[in-house]
Structures are given as C-alpha cells and as structure tokens.
Copies of this chain bind each other. A is one copy, B any other.
Amino acid sequence: MQVGVIGIGLIGGSMAIDLKKRKFADRVVGVESEQLHAAAAKEMGLVDDLVNLEDCIAESDIIVVATPVSAAIRLIPQILDKVDKQIVTDVCSTKEKINEMVHYHPNRKNFVAAHPMAGTEYSGPWAALSGLFDGRAGIICNAEDSDIRAVELVKSMYDCLNMRMIYMRAAHHDVHTAYVSHISHISSFALALTVLEKEKNEKNIFDLASGGFSSTVRLAKSNADMWAPIFSQNKENVLTVLDTYIEKLQEFKKHISDYDEQGVRELIYKANKIKRIIR
C-alpha cells in the first residue's frame, strides 16, 4: 500500500513516520509546496520520496490532505476530480465547510472526512513525532456519505495509529471543537498578547512566570497559518463560545470590583468541577 501525504508538517509528518514504521504503508510519498519544509522532510527521512501532486494522486492508494484548512478546501475537490479507486481523506480541524464543498462531487464516496485530535503547539516537519496519535480520539464525519470500504480503510489507518474512533456529523464536530479546542487557543493567544504588551515596559516580568503561566500560555505558540483559517471556517461556533467566555470573565470582573469574595468563590467552585473530567 502506498500512502500519499500532502503537507509534511506536524500532523502529516507524524502520520508518515508511524504508518511506515508500523507497516501500514510499504511506501509513503509526500507533497510539500514550501521549499524549506520539503528539504527538511527529505533530510529527516520523513517520507520515502517527495513527488508532485499529480504523481501523488496517480500512484497512492490513500491520499491524506494534511495542509491548513484554507488550502484543503481548495485541494480536496481538485484531487477528487482526478481519482479513480484512490481514497482521499483529510485531517482538518473544521469539517462542515469541507463537507459542503464536496457534497455534490461525483467522487464524494471516495472521500472520508476525518480529524485526528492530536497535536502539539509546534509546527513544521521538525515537529513530527512518532506516537503522536496513540490513545487519542480520531473523528470520522458524515461516514454515510463515503463508500463503506473507504471508511474501513481510513479506520484501519487510524487503528494502526492507535486512535479510538468516534463517528459524528460534521456540524456537531465543529460545535464541539469550538468548545474544547478553538476557544482554548484564542484564550491562550489573548493571554500572551496581554502579558507581552505589559512586558514592553517592564523587562523583568517574566522572571516571575511560574509553571501555571507556562501551562495556560502554551498554545499561544501555535501556528498562525493553521489557526486563522480554522477560526474563519468555524466562525459562527467560535463567536458563540467566545461570547460566553467573555461573559464569564465579566462575571469575575463584577464580583472582584464589588469586593464580593463569596461571588468569586462560587464561580471558582463551579469551575473546579472540571476536576472530574480532566485528570
């Protein structure tokens, strides 16, 4: 089996490593439009070969689109135009817009919309890791629109990556990821901006940064080219969650302004319930 990975960054690169190492693929080829990333991926041996898009489509059994979602939404219909028996899948963090783009494509059944929920705050081929997906959730959306054998093949690929699969509607996926992933990133970017603005004047402020700060600000290192299109494509859900988040901050602000410690305490008691979920 040949796997073609389009976009050899954190996700594409990590898949390439383990699909070859764990023998799901005999051969992994990559397509990478950024010259530096392509050269690094080659030097690091992440793929067996770098090829052009046409050859990747023509020669691979599975084509994994692992680009930012803005590029994926253009690429996936173009790739579907050219496939015969090849299976196409993606790894993008928003699913509803992609789903709409391919819904009436004559080769829709060759496409499986997927989202392996794994990552780090780093990006590029040098961020690729063996074991990145182990034990994490992998999502397949709108499986009924895909050929059943296509879904089975993609599932077997994620089985090889030790993911636990969850099936859901694209629209649900986008609501849930807005809550558990997209808002975390915005909260972390905004925290970094807040503290960096202060730091301009106060050089030593970071001497005091403790582990708690590092933890909440970690995601602020994440890649702009990946995240800006995610927020656009999931605009409605992200704005809904962002409004709720700002409301909660306003509640803190009000209680603190009023010296209402009991009010603050009750907000914290409620927030503490996250303990039963995140260990």
Give the B-binding residues of A (Cβ under 8 A).
70, 117-121, 136-137, 139, 166, 175-177, 179-181, 183-199, 202, 204-225, 227-229, 231-232, 235, 238-239, 241-246, 248-250, 252-253, 256-257, 259, 261-262, 264-265, 267-275, 277-278
Contacts and interface: CB of A to CB of B under 8 A. Distances in A.
Contact of A231 (B175, B185, B264, B271): B264
A265 to B, nearest CB: 4
B239 A274 contact: no
A250 B193 CA distance: 12
20 contacts: A176-B202, A176-B204, A176-B205, A180-B195, A183-B191, A183-B195, A184-B216, A189-B268, A192-B272, A192-B273, A192-B274, A193-B248, A193-B270, A193-B271, A197-B244, A206-B277, A221-B278, A231-B256, A239-B256, A242-B256
Nearest to A274: B192
Given A245-B190, A249-B242, A261-B229, A224 B268 contact: yes
Can you list the 9 inter-chain pairs with the closest CB atoms, starting with the nearest? A224-B268, A190-B248, A192-B271, A192-B274, A189-B271, A228-B264, A184-B216, A224-B265, A228-B261
A166 B216 contact: no
A162 B257 CA distance: 38
Given A176-B208, A222-B272, 13 more contacts: A119-B211, A121-B212, A137-B207, A137-B208, A181-B213, A183-B194, A194-B244, A198-B244, A212-B218, A217-B278, A228-B268, A231-B252, A231-B256
Contacts of A265: 224-225, 228
Contact of A267 (B136, B189, B208, B239): B189
A191 B249 CA distance: 9
Tell me what chain A mostly uses at the interface: helix, strand, loop, or mixed.
Answer: helix
Contact of A216 (B206, B219, B223): B219
A105 B122 CA distance: 53
B213 A216 contact: no
B242 A272 contact: no
B248 A253 contact: no
Nearest to A185: B212
B193 A179 contact: no
